[in-house]
Amino acid sequence: MSPPANVHVNGTDYRWPLRPVVVVCIDGGDPRYLKQFLADGSIPHIARCVREGYGAVAEGSMPSFTCPNNMSIITGTPASINDRDVPQTEA
């Protein structure tokens, strides 16, 4: 059985990937550090993933809580929908 051409999730249609996909989230790191370490060769395995695959910096939800941000990555929905059970701090 072949996979579907598209998949519909949370009101959005996505093209089914042609090959396996892995998503790596580096949580809590300033993008400037990642850029520096990529440039100086300190993280060769991540550099290879970026070079041979894809690398990007995502805009996180505010306030920055790991759980809602990761849920947004996994579900494709904003934190306003998926963070109902996460304690909120007062500004």
Contact criterion met (CB below 8 Å) for 75 and 9: yes
pLDDT at residue 42 in the model: 95
Q: What is the chain's pLDDT, residue by residue, as a tens digit (91 residues)?
A: 777 788 887 788 888 888 888 888 887 778 899 899 999 999 999 999 889 988 888 776 666 677 777 777 777 777 777 665 555 555 4
Q: Is 43 helix (H, G, I), strand (E, B) or coil?
A: coil
Beta bridge partners of 14: 7
pLDDT at residue 30 in the model: 82
pLDDT at residue 36 in the model: 94
The alpha-helical segments, DSSP class H, found in 1-91 are 31-40, 44-52, 66-75, 79-82
